[in-house]
Amino acid sequence: MSLAFDKVPLQLTVNGKPCAVEVEPRTLLVELIREQLNLTGTHVGCDTTYCGACTVLLNGRNVKSCTVLAVQADGSDVRTVEGLATEGKLHPVQEAYAANHGLQCGFCTPGLLMSTVRLLEKHPKPSDQQIRKAIAGNTCRCTGYQNILKAIRAAAAAGK
Amino acid sequence: MAAKYTLIGKPMPMTDAKSKVTGQGLYTDDISVPGMLVGRILHSPHAHALIRRIDTARAAALPGVKAVVTGLDAPKPYGILPVGHDEQVLQSGKARYIGDNIAAVAATSAEIAEHALSLIEVDYEVLPAFFDPRESMKAAAGWIHDTKPNNIEKEYHHHFGNVDEGFAQAQFVREESYYAGEVTHAAMEPHSTLAIWEPDQRMTVYSSTQVPYYLHRTLSDVCEMPMSQIRVIKPLIGGGFGGKSEIIPLEVAAAVLAKKAKRPVKITYTREEVFYAHRGRPITYVDLKVGLTREGKITAVAARVVQDGGAYCGYGPVTVLYSGALLGAIYDIPNVKYDGFRVLTNKPACGAMRGHGTVNVRFAFEAMLDALAHDAGIDPVDVRRRNLLNAPCITVNGLRVTSYGLPECIERATEHAGWNDKKGKLPRGRGIGMACSHYVSGAANPIVRSNIPHTTVNIKVDRDASITVFTGAAEIGQGSDTMHVQLTAEVLGVRPDRVHLVVADTDLTPIDLGSYSSRVTFMAGNACIAAAKNMREQILAGVAKKLGCEASELDLREEQLFVKGESAARMNFDQAIAAALEFQGGLVARGTYQPPETARGGKFKGAGVGPSPSYSYSAQVAEVSVDVETGRVTVESIVAAHDCGRALNPLTVEGQIEGSVYMGLGQALQEEMIWENGRLMNPTLLEYRIPSTLETPEIESIIIESIDPEGPFGAKEAGEGSLAATIPAIANAIYDAVGVRINSLPITPEKVLAALQEKQKRERAAATNMSGNGGGGAR
């Protein structure tokens, strides 16, 4: 048997930069991000689309990149945690998580940040119920969520 | 108090938060090096089988495969406890659970490595297997380990006071059986190890470990290399909770592969492999008997505990000893009897999980106490008030209690939860319950008996007056790094951003036993303070020479050096360091921590586990709703008061309390590993459901500060102790809501519904009887 597959060329924008890559058809978006683009801030926690550690924004929507094929992202805009801070300045959502202790081990944090960014883009002043639902697909085993909720409220309050 | 300290007691966001929110921080799987191979492990498909033959020839011949190893490449058995060296990294004689490790491959890609596994031929002779510990411990033959008759890993029998006399004095005696299903850590980061074979015959190992120094020792043993030739580095860790607190097979397998391939090898577990690597909280059967007087005084407790340990020893004897040692010691109970059995079965080994050994027995005890309180017609809070220790004291089983904030925890938690307004007054379907728990601030006796201090911390101050702390304590998300920064800056009177850390690197940092048993704040914290004080003395001695005065006349605070009594500073910290360097040369300080002899417990067999230099206490109140149609329980709120001695950093203390409560909530209502003939039926996070934001209520954490006389600035543990109270608080609230007691975890809707139906049947029968009697009475 052969273990090699023909590669597929892709064009996508990653964190604002155009990027041309070749992947095997079976390559997952998260594998492309972590292994080929070396953006290791996006983590793999469960392999089964539950934990959300691999959440990235695909054309502005939060998706679990462990369950998206890289080829599905062809022509798309991909935003990862590395794309949040600009010129060394943290994104307000990053600031809020750090200041409110909205993280402990930090493994789930990049995924949560991306879901939070998406939430606040959609609902700049979210209700508590909207916050809880927006991150229900991102599990955190450390915090009991209390400070994550606090961080999101703080980020929403800080945004104008 | 607030004026006394500059940094202690003030919230400080974690020093590594920025690296984590930017995604720049590296966890083990994020690290890649040139020439790195991918490692994969072949697992046994059988729960119990002799290994007759392993043929790796076809796998080894596959292009891209650089090494194939079996048990013959690393035959030396190991285990976290000196009494439990019973597992090989790869089994050569016998597979003892589905998922046991048989062979490993390193190849140039994951696909090749996985294909190579399929080419390894193994002939198994399947043996009868043991899955139920109650059956396993009766086995006359065919044992899982030849050296463990009747599949009993360890049993302990302790009796303090006289329980028969105690029960005779009680007006209310209850006997109940409790069950707790198996739960696992489910840290978000799957285990990962990168072993790098260096050109000078050394090996550097990055690993997701809570115990770098035990890993260092084990790798040296199993790889038969001197410790000086191995360097273990702990990068960022994505959660541990005990699941990374012993040696996990992939850590050794990666090293053995790297040594054979002479190349870097990385192995990262799939989530399914993480579930099978396990080392979580065992299935536990608790038969409990407690006696209570009419006045509400507990007279005696007797417990028989059987734990399903799985196929290897791991931390097993420690788990079963903690279950006994901390069973009664939270209250003043004069008579305590404990029979604990750690039993082997053909399932993945259990081990240490947050609240190690204490959680399932605490559930049983606190639920029982609630029932007894109702029997005696006493408020459950009052029962606890009437059985408090008179600390400082030594408990009946020899545990030294130096500070005891439980009374205040009880008062504050019940007050905040509105206990008096709610208890017994909520509408049907809504209820309130409370429970207490306690935990060690580190084990007073090390795993490997020795007189080496449990922690050493070094501090160096450089020419630019920056401070570097070298600590072996493993930051795993709990805030250990931040604590070191805070303590060092406080003692030296400087800004925290002067302090840099070098953490958990066996080439650079002195020994710390690791992040387990909630020992880091107490032990590494005390060592860090000692090192910082020593550094402070050195600085002041140097400055004193410069100024021509005595060191005792000097003070260092707020980045300035003062002569005591003067209001103006003589120099700033940079100048003080320059002066000190002139006279002292390089500034290097050391501090250690060793628990005092008086904290190390009694002399009986098994007395070594349970003693701690100090104990934390927790009291919690849970409010729940129970849907009587479906049996579904919703936790509405939890108020958790925790005595952590002193909250060095309230932000991280609250985070620890909330995380503990959260994990207790999961075990109480929804988490359970489901086994069928040794196969895990739910080895994914899709099926083993940890609570999301939708199941997690508002948690109110209340910090209680009892200021421990020996803790660092009075601090004790905060990371584990709260968990055990959450489960019985919820169970007791369910009783308050609908009048049924569920003695089996998790409390699923099925169990609640069955109990409700049973209760209804009983009540109908009683009503029928009563109307019958009533008829008779009317005659």
- Arithmetic mean of pLDDT, B144-154: 97
- Arithmetic mean of pLDDT, B41-68: 98
Tokens of B149: 């008759």
pLDDT of residue A88: 87
- Chain A residues in contact with B14 (beta carbon < 8 A): 98, 101, 103-104
Interface membership of B186 toward A (CB under 8 Å): yes
Last residue of a domain, one of A59, A83, A107: A83
Q: What are phi and psi of B421, to 5 degrees?
A: -80, -20
Look at chain A and count its residues: 160
Q: How confident is the model at residue B774 (pLDDT cuts 50, 70, 90)?
A: very low
How many structural domains compose chain B? 3
Instruction: Return the CATH number at B579.
Output: 3.30.365.10
Same domain flag for A126 and A64 = no
Interface membership of B684 toward A (CB under 8 Å): yes
pLDDT of residue B283: 98
pLDDT of residue B584: 86
Beta bridge partners of B219: none
Same domain flag for A116 and A74 = no
Tokens of B78: 């190991």
Name the residue among B17, B690, B693 with its Cβ closest to that of A141. B690
Same domain flag for B617 and B674 = yes
Same domain flag for B627 and B717 = yes
Is the CA virtual torsion B128, B131, B132, B138 positive or negative?
positive
Q: Is residue B133 part of a domain?
A: no
Is residue B305 within 8 A of residue B289, CB to CB? The reply is: no
Using a pLDDT cut of 70, give the percent of chain B over it.
99
Same domain flag for B344 and B196 = no
pTM: 0.97
Q: Is residue A121 part of a domain?
A: yes
Look at the block and give the residue holding tokens 């009437």: B386
Same domain flag for B655 and B711 = yes
Radius of gyration of the CA atoms of chain B, in A: 28
Last residue of a domain, one of B593, B608, B634: B593
pLDDT tens digits, B80-130: 999 999 999 999 999 999 999 999 999 999 999 999 999 999 999 999 999
Q: Is residue B182 part of a domain?
A: no
Interface membership of B13 toward A (CB under 8 Å): yes
Omega of the bond leading into B199 within 30 degrees of 0 (cis)? no
Same domain flag for A12 and A79 = yes
Q: Is residue A152 part of a domain?
A: yes
pLDDT tens digits, B619-640: 999 999 999 999 999 999 999 9
Name the residue among B18, B694, B699 with its Cβ closest to that of A146. B699
DSSP B382: H
Is residue B207 within 8 A of residue B251, CB to CB? The reply is: yes
Distance from CA of B428 to the nearest CA of A (A): 26
Residue B409 identity? C
Which residues, 6+ apart, have CB-to-CB distance to B341 below 8 Å? Answer: B133, B137, B152, B154, B155, B304, B305, B306, B307, B320
Instruction: Return the CATH number at B223.
Output: 3.90.1170.50
pLDDT tens digits, B734-763: 999 999 999 999 999 999 999 999 999 999
Q: Is residue A77 part of a domain?
A: yes
Same domain flag for A72 and A101 = no
Last residue of a domain, one of A61, A83, A105: A83
Please give the C-alpha separations between residue B54 and each of A4, B58, B67, B72, in angstroms, as whole numbers.
28, 11, 15, 10
CB atoms under 10 Å from CB of B288, counted, come to 21
- Chain A residues in contact with B685 (beta carbon < 8 A): 45-46, 48, 50-51, 139
Same domain flag for A69 and A97 = no
Last residue of a domain, one of A83, A114, A144: A83
pLDDT of residue A5: 78
Q: Is residue B225 part of a domain?
A: yes
Is residue B680 within 8 A of residue B47, CB to CB? The reply is: no
Beta bridge partners of B616: B439
Q: Is residue A2 part of a domain?
A: no
- Residue of chain B minimizing CA distance to A105: B477
Same domain flag for B107 and B35 = yes
Instruction: Return the CATH number at A120.
Output: 1.10.150.120
Distance from CA of B323 to the nearest CA of A (A): 24
Same domain flag for B120 and B266 = yes
**What contacts 24+ positions apart, CB below 8 Å, involve B755-764?**
B756/B628, B756/B631
Q: Is residue B152 part of a domain?
A: no
Same domain flag for A126 and A60 = no
Ramachandran bin of A47, using left for φ above 0, alpha for ψ from -120 to 50, beta for the remaining angles: left
Q: Which of B21, B635, B701 to mutate to test the interface with A (most CBs of A within 10 A)?
A: B21
pLDDT at B411 over 90: yes
Q: Is residue B407 part of a domain?
A: yes
pLDDT at B778 over 60: no
Look at the block and give the residue holding tokens 């059988």: B46
Residue B94 identity? K
Give, for all 160 residues of chain A, the pLDDT tens digit.
556 779 999 999 999 999 999 999 999 999 999 999 999 999 999 989 999 999 999 999 999 999 999 999 999 999 999 999 998 899 999 999 999 999 999 999 999 999 999 999 999 999 999 999 999 999 999 999 999 999 999 999 998 5
Q: How far apart are CA B88 and CA B223, in angstroms?
A: 12
pLDDT of residue A159: 82
Radius of gyration of the CA atoms of chain A, in A: 16
Same domain flag for A99 and A75 = no
CA distance between the termini of chain B: 75
Nearest to B509 by CA among B216, B225, B81, B242: B216
How remote is the C-alpha of B664 from its chain's centroid? 12
pLDDT of residue B337: 98
Same domain flag for B253 and B293 = no
Same domain flag for B302 and B327 = yes
Look at the block and give the residue holding tokens 């504050």: B412
The two beta strands, B65-70 and B101-107, are: antiparallel
Same domain flag for B620 and B741 = yes
Q: Is residue B440 part of a domain?
A: yes
Q: How far apart are CA B282 and CA B183, in angstroms?
A: 7
pLDDT of residue B475: 97
The crossing angle, in degrees rounded to 10, of helices A146-158 and A109-122 is 40
Query: Angle at CA B193, nearest 5°, toward B188 and B194?
Result: 135
Q: Is residue A109 part of a domain?
A: yes
Tokens of B130: 């043991």
pLDDT at B352 over 80: yes
Q: What 3-state class would DSSP assign to B601?
A: coil
DSSP B401: E
CB atoms under 10 Å from CB of B198, counted, come to 13
Q: How far apart are CA B668 and CA B747, in angstroms?
A: 6
Tokens of A31: 């594998």
- Residue of chain A minimizing CA distance to B475: A105
The two beta strands, B94-95 and B49-55, are: antiparallel
Q: What 3-state class would DSSP assign to B43?
A: strand
pLDDT tens digits, B225-281: 999 999 999 999 999 999 999 999 999 999 999 999 999 999 999 999 999 999 999
Same domain flag for B440 and B325 = yes
CA distance between the termini of chain A: 58
Nearest to B562 by CA among B545, B544, B583, B585: B544
- Chain B residues in contact with A40 (beta carbon < 8 A): 23, 26-27, 29-30
pLDDT tens digits, B10-32: 999 999 999 999 999 999 999 99
Instruction: Return the CATH number at A48.
Output: 3.10.20.30
- Arithmetic mean of pLDDT, B501-511: 98
CB atoms under 10 Å from CB of B369, counted, come to 26
Name the residue among A41, A104, A143 with its Cβ closest to that of B23. A41
Q: How far apart are CA B409 and CA B231, in angstroms?
A: 44
pLDDT of residue B773: 56
CB atoms under 10 Å from CB of B677, counted, come to 10
pLDDT at B707 over 60: yes
pLDDT of residue B777: 41
pLDDT at B690 over 60: yes
Tokens of B110: 């994951």
Burial classification of residue B174, based on how many CB atoms lie within 10 Å of its CB (0-12 exposed, 13-18 middle, 19 or more buried): middle
The two beta strands, A55-58 and A61-64, are: antiparallel
Distance from CA of B533 to the nearest CA of A (A): 29
How many structural domains compose chain A? 2
Interface membership of A144 toward B (CB under 8 Å): yes
Beta bridge partners of B194: B206, B266
Residue B264 domain boundaries: 31-127+188-239+244-277
pLDDT of residue B58: 98
Burial classification of residue B548, based on how many CB atoms lie within 10 Å of its CB (0-12 exposed, 13-18 middle, 19 or more buried): exposed
Q: What 3-state class would DSSP assign to B127?
A: coil
pLDDT tens digits, A10-22: 999 999 999 999 9
Same domain flag for B570 and B617 = no
Distance from CA of B474 to the nearest CA of A (A): 12
Interface membership of B654 toward A (CB under 8 Å): yes
- Residue of chain A minimizing CA distance to B652: A101
Q: Which of B20, B276, B642 to mutate to test the interface with A (most CBs of A within 10 A)?
A: B20
Look at the block and give the residue holding tokens 């002569």: B563
Q: How far apart are CA B394 and CA B392, in angstroms?
A: 7
Complete DSSP assignment for B659-681:
HHHHHHHHHHHT----EETTEES
Using a pLDDT cut of 90, give the percent of chain B over it.
97
Same domain flag for A117 and A75 = no
Q: Is residue B162 part of a domain?
A: no
Q: How far apart are CA B617 and CA B362, in angstroms?
A: 13
Q: How far apart are CA B759 and CA B771, in angstroms?
A: 18
Q: Where are the beta strands (DSSP E) in B496-535?
A: 499-503
Q: How far apart are CA B266 and CA B26, in angstroms?
A: 14
What are the residue ranges of helices labelled H in B262-313? 271-277
- Chain B residues in contact with A1 (beta carbon < 8 A): 115
Q: Is residue A102 part of a domain?
A: yes
Q: How far apart are CA B616 and CA B401, in angstroms?
A: 10
Same domain flag for A17 and A76 = yes
Last residue of a domain, one of B593, B623, B658: B593
- Residue of chain A minimizing CA distance to B25: A41
Same domain flag for B288 and B398 = yes
Interface membership of A59 toward B (CB under 8 Å): no
How remote is the C-alpha of B547 from its chain's centroid? 50
Complex-level ipTM beyond the 0.90 threshold: yes
Query: Angle at CA B612, nearest 5°, toward B484 and B296?
Result: 125
Nearest to B641 by CA among B656, B620, B662: B620
Nearest to A10 by CA among B133, A25, A151, A2: A25
Q: How far apart are CA B523 and CA B594, in angstroms?
A: 8
Same domain flag for A75 and A106 = no
Please give the C-alpha separations between residue B753 and each of A71, B426, B628, B757, B759, in angstroms, as whole numbers.
48, 20, 7, 6, 10
Q: Is residue B633 part of a domain?
A: yes
Residue A42 domain boundaries: 8-83
- Chain A residues in contact with B190 (beta carbon < 8 A): 44-45
